[in-house]
Amino acid sequence: MSSLNNYCDYSCIITAGGYGTRFDEKKKKQFFEINNRPLINITIELFYALPEINEILVTLPKEDFDLTSASLKKDFPNKVKCILGGDTRQKSVYNALQSCNEKNSFVLIHDAVRPFLDKVDLLKMIELVRESDSMIPGSRVKNTIHRLETTNRDSQKMLIETIPREDLIEVYTPQIFKLDLIKKYHEKAKNLKLLFSDDASIMEFFGEKIRWFETNSGNLKITTREDIELAVWRENRMTQKNKNFEEKSSDFSNIRIGYGYDVHQLVVGRKLIIGGVEIDFEKGLLGHSDADVLLHAIIDALLGALSLGDIGSNFPDNDKAYKNINSRVLLRKTYQIIKSNGWYLNNLDVTICAQKPKMRPYIDDMRKNIAEDLQCEIDIISVKATTEENLGISGSEKGMTATCIVMIRRANVFK
């Protein structure tokens, strides 16, 4: 993660084009309602608010396309695009891949009938997949597995082998892939007329290595009528948990506050970079990195909110990897750490203290940079500037200081 990529480069495909032959209802399972909410809507909501995902492509059956696409457009006015599905899941995914934004780096592929994905697991996968080309969630097999054989005499199924379960996993969705890779292999599978049960199987067939993300969240797939009853119970349980959180929100267990402070000396011969903005001035700040005092205060505040040390312990000044590094890279790395622990930024307030130069002309650009790096709306980023009236370190023009306060919230209560 050494580039200034904003990491908002994920497509998401939700497959809802199936017919559910094992689901004994007139209504297709993906449109079955739980507490007056269609399953497909519950699933879309898992991904809709995530800033990393800039488009959601939903595959739909032909006979339901017009009515459902109109309904989804009303419920989800941004990001969501409806794609005509095929007669198999693989064909539906293929169709959606053709419409993905080619500028995106990754694509998540998820079943519409898996509405109870753990959001913390999802955020961790989105982060970790950047270290590889693909990732799938799954849990270790807990039950004994036998292989069956049909007898020739009476066609009865008989046990013939016990399969060691130590290296077996049960696979879920979303499965995440480099967009260009999965698109290429779907094209190959189509040309060879090969049919696979999931997208990871396609990658595996063509020799790609796939990283496993272990989860025990019980990512329920709605397959039978009995699954609906379990889904209703889980939805009611989640609703009650959210209600309980709202009732007990005064205990602040789902928010954290962090404070950050930084100071750097002003010297001749260095560029002055504040908030990611290069400012024309005769002096610059001295430091191992680019010495962006404003961003360093934000980094310290974020790390402090989760008791994860400070900028020096996470990005030491004796590490050559960070020599003259752009502090926006460090800020992005820091926020990925925060998100991987299951937290999101709620808001921040940072103040730069400098006698000269005047900061006001640059504050809007600073706010834009910070909002981009923290993948948030600009209205939760406050940047202020002040002087020490010719007193202290900044007032004597020997250096500059910055202070920051941040509030972060758990991912499962982030709105």
Q: What is the pLDDT of residues 230-273, one digit of tens each?
A: 777 766 666 665 555 455 444 567 889 999 999 999 999 999 99
| Torsional class of 378: left (φ above 0), alpha (ψ -120 to 50), beta (otherwise) | alpha
Is residue 2 over pLDDT 50? no
Mean pLDDT of the chain: 87
CATH 3.90.550.10 fits 10-247, yes or no: yes
Residue 239: the pLDDT is 61
Mean pLDDT of 393-409: 93
Residue 6: the pLDDT is 46
Structure tokens at 97: 């891949």
Question: Terminal CA-to-CA distance of the chain, rounded, Å?
Answer: 26
Q: What is the pLDDT of residues 102-128, one digit of tens each?
A: 999 999 999 998 888 888 889 889 988
CA distance linking residue 27 with residue 364, whole number of Å? 52
pTM for the model stands at 0.61
Pair 370, 405: CB distance under 8 Å: no
Which of 21-35, 306-320, 324-338, 394-408 bottoms out in mean pLDDT, i.e. has the lowest? 21-35
Mean pLDDT of 152-173: 84
Alpha helices in 158-309 (DSSP H): 179-191, 199-205, 225-247, 293-305
CATH no. of 254-413: 3.30.1330.50
Is residue 193 over pLDDT 50? yes
Domain ranges within the chain, ordered by starting residue: 10-247, 254-413
Structure tokens at 89: 């899941």
395 three-state secondary structure:
helix
Residue 195: the pLDDT is 96
Amino acid at 90: Q
Q: What is the pLDDT of residues 18-37, one digit of tens each?
A: 665 555 556 677 877 777 88
Is residue 325 over pLDDT 60? yes
